[in-house]
Amino acid sequence: MQVVRSKLELKKILSSQTNKSIGFVPTMGSLHEGHLALMKKARLENDFVVASVFVNPTQFGPNEDLDAYPRDETKDIELSENAKVDLLFIPSVEEIYPRKVSAQVKAVLAVDVLDGKARPGHFDGVLTVLLKLFMLVQPDRAYFGQKDAQQVAIVQNFVSDYFLPVDIRTVETVREADGLAKSSRNVNLLEEERNEAPVIHRALLAGKDRILSGCQSEQEILGAVQEVLQDVTLKLDYLALYSYPDFKPVTDFTKPMVLAAAVKYKKARLIDNEIVLPSGGEAECYEQ
């Protein structure tokens, strides 16, 4: 595996990969099994796999955890090599943002709910850095986790709207044995918080079960989730049910939906979701 830190070096190596399909896994590092599942899928579907490790400052708000975001470059390099990544791009902030951008990328659709509402400007920063990385790597396919369901939908819309020649591939959420979604932020949980956090997924499953049993009342579905959460100390940032993948209010309970939650702990904010397919359709993700 080659580790590169400059755009020029990246371009030089990629220019030699003629007639090869390129799979790309953009990450913010602190890699875990969820990222490795993306790399595994990229390895299966492409001739050459590129991953990036870059904690993108433009997607963090002024009161968010940019400085506290976990970083472990040595481990990231080791895990990427074990996952058979061909090239790992680890640029500095100055390499990606050498000057103030002259034009802004702004997310418009599906951003007035969930993380888009809770974190104003977050998805503008996500799309900005992804556009830069897509232009640098020019991948055939890029890989994202279903845990970030809203992000996946926004990125897919962005790629489609601007005719970017990259196929966005999604992979199912990877979980701990107790159901907690894998996240780089999990390391910031206090012991009692980590012990409690799996209840997020259990609560979402309770709501999903209510939908699959035929319930068509949003109030009852969210109530089933809240019932599981009522005796715990976590602070809900949001809990919502939307149509999927357009993230609009549900009007047809026979079509795909997303049941999503975000929880704030002392030093971590966790998100999770369940995609619900009541009519037996196929999810737009790929099993590991």
Domains along the chain with CATH numbers: 2-171 (3.40.50.620), 184-276 (3.30.1300.10)
For residue 102, count CB atoms less than 10 angstroms from its CB and return exposed for 0-12, middle for 13-18, buried for 19 or more: exposed
Work out the average pLDDT over 96-113.
93
What pLDDT is recorded for position 65?
A: 80
In whole angstroms, give the CA distance from residue 230 to residue 243.
Answer: 25
In this predicted structure, the answer to whether residue 63 has a pLDDT above a threshold of 90 is no
* CB-based contacts of 103, cutoff 8 Å, min separation 6: none
Is 157 strand, coil or helix?
helix
The stretches of the chain forming alpha helices (DSSP H) are 7-15, 33-45, 73-82, 93-96, 114-118, 122-137, 149-161, 191-196, 199-212, 218-229
Tell me the pTM. Answer: 0.90
Residues that are catalytic: 35
Q: Any known ligand binding at 1?
A: no
6 labeled binding residue:
no
**pLDDT value of residue 283:** 40
* Separation between Cα atoms, residue 155 and residue 284, nearest integer Å: 14
Residue 33, annotated as binding a ligand: yes
Question: In DSSP terms, which residues pair with 142 in a beta bridge?
Answer: 24, 168
Rounded to the nearest integer, the mean pLDDT of the chain is: 93
28 annotated among ligand-binding-site residues: yes
Tokens in use for 183? 């996240």
The answer on whether 39 is annotated among ligand-binding residues is no
* Beta partners for residue 171, in sequence order: 145, 286
> Which of 56-65, 73-82, 84-93, 278-287 comes out lowest in average pLDDT?
278-287
Can you tell me the distance from the alpha carbon of 61 to that of 41, in angstroms, rounded to the nearest whole number? 31
Q: Is 145 one of the annotated binding-site residues?
A: yes
Residue reference for tokens 């058979």: 84
Report how far residue 147's alpha carbon sits from residue 56's, in angstroms, rounded to the nearest whole number. 19
pLDDT in tens, 23-36: 999 999 999 999 99
pLDDT at 62: 86
Residue-wise pLDDT for 219-237, tens only, equals 999 999 999 999 888 899 9
Is 147 annotated in some ligand binding site? yes
Give the contacts of 45 (CB within 8 A, at least 6 positions apart): 21, 23, 141, 169
SS3 246: coil
- Res. 171: pLDDT tops 80: yes
